[in-house]
Amino acid sequence: MHTQKDVLAGVIELISKKLIDAEKILTELDSMGDADCGSGIRRGFEAVLNSIGEIKELEVGDMLKKVGFTLAYTIGGTSGAMLGTGFIETGKSIGDNRDPQPADWLKALKCALGVIKRRGGNTQIEDKTLVDALEPAIAAIQALHETGQATMLQLLEGAYAAAKEGSDRTIDMVARKGRASYVGERSRGNRDPGSLVIVLMFEAALEIYRRLN
Amino acid sequence: MKKIINKPDDFVGDMLKGLELSNPEKIGVLYGKRIVYRKDPYLNKVAIISGSGSGHEPDQAFYVGRGMLDAACAGPVFAAPTLDAIVDAAKLVDRGRGVLFLVKNYTGDRANFEMASEMLAFEGGPVVDTVIINDDVAVKDSTWTAGRRGVAGAMFVYKIVGAKSQEDGTDLSSLKKLAMLVNDNVRTMGFALKSCTTPAKGSPTFDLGDDDLELGVGLHGEPGRQRLKFMPADEIIKIITDSVLEDLPFISGDEVAVMINGLGGTPISELYIAAGITHTIIKNKKIKVFKTYVNNYCTSLDMEGCSVSILRLDEEFKRLLISPCDIPIRYF
């Protein structure tokens, strides 16, 4: 039997590997900005992997906070603030609960989303940011959870599909937040790199849960 | 890419090392967190901190010193400084009177300074407050963008607020009001003739044809709002000067300071050509120029082009603008 913290540590490790591998594609997608998204995120998740031994020793809430602070301390820029905020706020909401249930995760993710939106300057859906992937993913988890029947695996399958669909929609959007917003119409046609980061995170979580089942 | 650079990852650290070794009496550097701080002793004043991505030098690491900034947080090239650097810088320079963050309006800078403020409040100090600088008329300030950017006009905010912070009895809230007042009275517009090359990417951030210029270009090499055909200096400088004058608007009888700011790759000689044109336009509008600043103040690495900033003055602004400061950049 795996404890939640073991599973979470596995998810964090896989997320890190996936995002380090995504450096090139993230850099290309950030060409409307200044193409620093990929290298910053690589730097952040390399730092997470460097302290993975220490991270594994922590309980769920502290583990998430430690990942968040590591990202906020090493990435810099908007990515560092938003990803850092996401993990830190999720961890704060989980607190010292060692066995959070789907309802606890849902509440934690909603907290994180709220602070991410505030940090970005009241970011909304269709501003072409990571929120376009994260908000639908959380909505999908909520809808499935409310059926009262969904397993953790099913929740993650729903979240991943919704994140991916949301990220795909950013391709046709005109950015209204972040540096890409300054170029107006010229930002259309490129996927938002932040939304891809969210997709890869849910993809990693889903892969780990599939292995468990 | 032919540059005086070793490894791209060492760009900021190597630059700060040169800055420190060249100014050992004035500034110190904490390399791990890339914090530049004032070395001369000072007490009983509100501390002033700014920070942003590197690549805009002299903004802002080179503006640390008596009469301007007490510390600067230098982020990676074109990316906001990290949360911990801002927190540590605030603790380092606080003298018990609080800390004012002067932040140019970019999502990443705002978010990291906001996180740092929350963290310091949670930890019980020092007391901090923030003023967001947004002087760029190129960006439409609406809910459809991240809002007007902070660009070269921020230098006037640092200078005036930094000078005021040295005066006895100036508290955090009055400095904050002053910073907002300077920001409200300054406007900037720029253009690029050539894009810039970041150390990490090694090639220009955007393509600009030989016959093109980019109006309203951003400080990070993000493309501007409009691409125009290349034109003589008189015409392009008139376009940017007029858009600055019309925005506030500046009117007959105003007294102003003017900054012709090079973006990093344009010779000083050309900046003075621009200064001459801007002066003539301003004088024709019966606006009085109190002082003119022509140099590279806030750059985008090696970008070619310039910006024009105009600040409307009152007597206090004038006094603080010309009061001496002791910062690393100087000619002699």
**pLDDT score for A83:** 97
Check pLDDT > 60 for residue B142. no
Low-confidence residues of chain A: pLDDT under 50 = none
Check pLDDT > 80 for residue B218. no
Which residues of B115-271 form beta strands (DSSP E)? 128-133, 186-194, 212-215, 226-229, 255-262
Distance CA B286, CA B325 (A): 31
Contacting B with CB below 8 Å, chain A residues are 27, 32-36, 39-40, 69, 72-82, 84-85, 119-121, 176-184, 186
**pLDDT score for B210:** 87
CB A36 to CB B78 under 8 A? yes
Pick the CATH number of B8-185 from 3.30.70.260, 3.40.50.10440, 3.40.50.12280, 1.10.3720.10: 3.40.50.10440
Pick the CATH number of A4-212 from 1.25.40.340, 3.10.20.30, 3.30.390.30, 1.20.140.10: 1.25.40.340
For chain A, what are the domain ranges? 4-212
Residue extent(s) of CATH 3.40.50.10440 domains in chain B: 8-185
Q: Which of B9-13, B137-141, B264-268 has the lowest mean pLDDT?
A: B137-141
Strand pairing category for B47-54 and B71-77: parallel
- Confidence grade of residue B16 (pLDDT, cut at 50, 70, 90): very high
Measured CA angle at B239 (ends B233, B245), to 5 deg: 125
Q: How many CB pairs under 8 A join A and B?
A: 129
Q: What is the pTM of this model?
A: 0.94
pLDDT, mean over chain B: 94
Show residues of chain B in contact with A183, CB under 8 Å: 222-225
Residue B279 among the catalytic residues: no
Average pLDDT over residues B205-231: 83
**For residue A152, which phi and psi values (nearest 5 degrees)?**
-55, -40
Average pLDDT over residues B245-264: 97
**pLDDT score for B141:** 63
From A115's Cα to the closest Cα of chain B, the distance in A is 10
**pLDDT score for A27:** 84
CB A77 to CB B76 under 8 A? yes
- Write down the catalytic residue from B34, B56, B66, B149: B56
**pLDDT score for B310:** 98
From A174's Cα to the closest Cα of chain B, the distance in A is 9
Check pLDDT > 70 for residue B105. yes
**For residue A132, which phi and psi values (nearest 5 degrees)?**
-65, -20
Average pLDDT over residues B277-287: 98
pLDDT digits (tens, 9 = 90+) for B223-234: 677 889 999 999
CB B107 to CB A120 under 8 A? yes
Please give the residue of chain A at the shortest CA–CA distance from B9: A39
Beta partners for B258?
B292, B310
pLDDT digits (tens, 9 = 90+) for A100-127: 999 999 999 999 999 999 999 999 999 9
Show residues of chain A in contact with B147, CB under 8 Å: 121
Check pLDDT > 70 for residue B299. yes
Check pLDDT > 60 for residue B82. yes
Nearest to B115 among A77, A85, A182 (CB): A85
Pick the CATH number of B186-321 from 3.30.1180.20, 3.40.50.1100, 3.10.20.740, 2.60.40.420: 3.30.1180.20
